[in-house]
Structure 1
Amino acid sequence: MEKNLETNIKDIISSKMEEGIVEEIITKEFESSIRSATDQLFNRYGGITSIIEKKIKSVMVPYLENYDYSEYIVKLDAVLVDILKNSTVDNKEIIKNFKHLVDYERKSTINATDLFEEWMKYVAENVETHGLDVYFEDSPHYESVEVNYYVEYNEERSWSSHKSAVIIFECEHDEEMNFEVRIHRWDHNKKNEWTLDYEGIRDLTSLKRLNSFQILLMQLSQDYTSIILDLDSDSSEVEPDAEPEASFS
């Protein structure tokens, strides 16, 4: 009985081998083994993936660093405007400030007195009018507020080639308008050009809390615009943009 069973098995194997079944099975298993080995080589720890990553980085990183994204900024601006129409108040402020941040004419240098002028525009738009007198010559308007700017130089060690200072913009009537802008320079810079130390925002949501003058400082800082201290101090008067409400007494 056993002999007959063994003979039958041999006959079946011989028959299947003649039909090519065994070769087909071996081929499939061999292909499966190759796929498995290849998968292991290309997985996180197989070695080949890290080699490919290095090659991609060596090509892609320099390309991306030198790519001109200006046309995409224009497209992004259009997308943001569309989003702006359907956003909450907070998001609208974020997008408006982002638009101001990217829509900017770059400058290599700016005088401290020009920065003072930009700050005075911010004061005119935002200064608190409570407590100000109202004048009626020609048309009703608030009295002007006195503003000042001056540079405070930090005391440095005699041997240090690094110099630092603070530009102070001050409005006595409304302390909310006041700003301190930190700057620094190196002695080898003979043009009296100073570098702005302003970090700005750390995340996108911070954009909603920025005012127009802070955005300008961010733009100047990101573009490495040099500050030229053409004057160490100056003063002026700013008339608020706000108009007094009509009073019938």
Structure 2
Amino acid sequence: MKEELLKIASESLSSDEVSEIVKEKFMNALGGAIEDAFRWGDAKHAIEEKVKEVMVPYIESYDFSEYLPKLDSVLTEIVNSDFCIGNKKILENFKDLMMEPEQKEIKLTDLFKAWIKQCERDIDTEDLDIDYDDGVSYQSVECEMRFELEDKPSWSSVQRAVITFENEHDEKLNVEIPVSKWIWDNGKEEPYTLSSYKDLTISSIRNLSEFEVLLLRLSRAKTAIVIDKEYDDSYIRPEKEPEADFH
């Protein structure tokens, strides 16, 4: 009996069918090992690095400007469609956010003027006196701009600062804008750019003012902020007109 079993086992192991089974299982095991190697580990990391070496320079050098008019046209059509009336403000702001700023740099005083323009549309006119000297209008509101450096640790290569636009009448319009610049060991200084200004969600896009959209565009494009003045003051002249009352 023992000899018969050994004979059967010997014949089975030497058969072509067993060879095929062993071959199949070996190929499956080898395939699984290779798949795992490409899923994580050194092989996957090596492939990712090679892809980055080729793709990143290509993407950075590619000129996407030819697509901007198409994007503008598509978004304009969407904004004006009846289907999107309820979300028109979201789409308008999104469209503006996607457009690259025309200027590579902007003066701080010009940014101050843009903020004043926004304030003139939005300022709360309650409790403002009415001026009758030249027609009927609300009295202007004083405002000011300040640029203030923050303390920089001796070991840091980043100089941070805060831009403040404010008025005393309507505090909800006041803004603080963080900016920063790199100072290299050789003494070379990069221009100031806006730090991350605001975290966005889809719902928050609806409530952005034109000035906030401008800041986000400048921040995304890393537009240089030229500090042409560290302090300035001006007046906010409300666009809203009061009802005349001469009694």
Q: TM-score normalised to the size of structure 1?
A: 0.69
Distance 1:117 1:176, change over 3 A: same
1:242 aligned onto 2:240: yes
1:78 aligned onto 2:78: no
Alignment of 1:10-25 (within 5 A): none
Distance 1:48 1:163, change over 3 A: closer
SS of residue paired to 1:180: strand
Distance 1:156 1:238, change over 3 A: same
Alignment of 1:66-215 (within 5 A): 66-84=61-79, 85=81, 86-89=83-86, 91-158=87-154, 160-188=156-184, 193-215=191-213
Contact preservation (8 Å) 2:101, 2:221 = no
CA distance in 2, matches of 1:57, 1:191: 33
AA paired with 1:79?
V
Q: TM-score normalised to the size of structure 2?
A: 0.70
Question: Which runs of 5 or more residues in structure 2 are unaligned?
Answer: 1-26
Percent identity reads 37
Work out the number of aligned pairs and report it: 213
Measured against aligned partners, the alpha-carbon deviations of 1:23-78 in whole angstroms (never above 9, x if no partner) come to xxxxxxxxxxxxxx9xx97xx94889999xx5995666654444333333222222
Distance 1:248 1:88, change over 3 A: farther
Contact preservation (8 Å) 1:108, 1:226 = yes
CA distance in 2, matches of 1:158, 1:137: 56
Higher Rg: 1
Question: Which runs of 5 or more residues in structure 1 are unaligned?
Answer: 1-36
AA paired with 2:169?
H
Instruction: Report the CA distance between 1:190 and its aligned residue.
Output: 5.4
